[in-house]
Structure 1
Amino acid sequence: MPLHCVYGFLISECRTIWAYSDPFYIWPLSPSHSTVEIAGHPSVGTASCISSAIGHPALDYNGLELRGSTNSFAEFTLDTTASIEDFSIMLFVVPEGFSGTLFHYEKQNLATGTNEMRNIILSYENMTSHLIATGNNASDILISISLVTNFQPDGWMPITISYDFSGRGLAMYAGDAKTTEDTDEHILLGLPGKIRIGGVSKFGYDSYLGRVTCLQFYDAKTNNGDFDDALIRCTSASWPPDMGPPSVSSYPSCNAMRGYFQLTSRGRTPPPSTVPIASLNTTSKVKCADWCLLPNNACVSFVIDKVHKVCSLYDVDDTAHLIISGSGTDYYVSSTLVNCC
């Protein structure tokens, strides 16, 4: 932290200027492939069931939409071999569900090493963000903090995790709000590890439903929850050359299930805010499925109302938002989405 002073005839003025190193990782950074994400540290990630969505107004490309289901996430490896003391992780989010997991860091090779942060989980529930850091196992909680977060519809919220190694303090920032907690000892980040956006690989946390963009990982702490020109680093002008598609192949079972629909709920229906793209007078699930699969049709789910004898088609999987229906309804979702997303 350099301290700059300007001396005049009668007065002197000192001001603090914070300077940050470039991030190790910035994601997403490929216009074609959302998991070819690393600037300066090439690494191929894994992703499934991520779609394009309305992006941050300061960025010149779309954001990414995670579906809130088990297989909807992005994951990549933090593969630096050097130890990391101070670190910070920032991402911008628009949650669209009641609860979900924004971020999970998990050290690989959990049987080795001591006195390390081996899991870091950032989640939210009912407008409150939760940050948990664990040691040797999931029950060895090093830090657990919560922060009221004023998520707004269609409002991008910057969320930052920052660890001060010398001060033993882990901080969480959500917009202008901040909370911190100290560890008993100086704890290194366990390396190497995997960063997963949108879910937790092992534990019973909800998956993230909503938009996400511009994740950055720094080997430095932050004192205000933000970094100079954070979003500028994520503009398309900063993208590296397109490195091609990830090497991870898609699940063959997904292609095999195309054209099939799975019953996911009885006695429930999408809320009134989810408008059907079309309706058909029938109680035949075969006829409804055939109609849903018509060429150039965006249908991915449908509801059969057996009382009113109507089939309603939808262009979204609204399983996470279903409400209790007063009539006998069956809700079907494309098996490709159910089993692969």
Structure 2
Amino acid sequence: MTKTAVHLTEVCPRDGFQSIREWIPTDVKVKIINTLIDCGYKQIEVTSFVHPKAIPQLKDADEVLAQIKRPPGVTFRALVPNVRGLERAIHAGVHKAKLMLSASDSHSISNANCTTEQALAQFEPLIERAKDSDIEIAGSISVAFGCPYEGEVPLARLVMICERYAAFGIEEVSLADTTGMANPTQIKETVRVLKARFPQLIFTLHLHNTRGMAFANAVAGYEEGIRHFDSSTGGLGGCPYAPGASGNIASEDLIHGFEAMGIPTNVSLDAVIHAGAVIQEQLPAYIDSFILKAGKSSDLSATPTAQVKVES
């Protein structure tokens, strides 16, 4: 029986790069993004238009967008925190802007210097501005499955945020396990409630592998009907404003796992492994990928030759 395919968004150029303190030259960013484009992704999160003081690594967002190749059929997504960021994204030719929002006030104050409610109120002029352009707007909820400051996030909190997003006319919402606190049971219960309450919304899972649970959580999400996932080649990633945050689930690990289960991804695993090798060459200290370490399960070793025991 053919299983329903998943849609993967590559986020290494944004979530991956932002976690690295030493400067990655613009031409290196462009090289990596162009290599990722060749893997077959239909959507890539290329950067973030935040203030350079907040994320210095991404201060060259405009230059990166001007230099990467732009094949037809590939959507370029970027994170935007405010109207100023949206204006930059529109001018740079971004196709989709993802809003930056935290489920908890503590993480929101750390990440955006305002409460969740204040951040939601600030989205109104941004969304109004987007209506006068061709850019799409997608929502996100960071620390959706647990906050490193407050612990478990009440499901009612996620429902409230989704209600506000739906009222804005947003049709796509990313649920982020920002510090890898989720477990498969929690994923299932949360997704089940949100999909039943908001059938008009497309939910994406953005999973971090902080505690080794990301692939199990991805499978749990798939079983509850999630078909959109974010991942980062090489496993790069981590929120600079969340204690203990580590990398996203590696794209090659997610693709390998789904394909082994008969779930199509429509992304070339071999090409992603090659892209991972390119990233590893440039940023060797940040790679966290099972497949780059162990290879595919189909990569078999030579059969051992029987050794004849010689009696002394």
TM-score calculated relative to the size of structure 2: 0.28
More helix by share: 2
More strand by share: 1
TM-score calculated relative to the size of structure 1: 0.26
Structure of greater Rg: 1
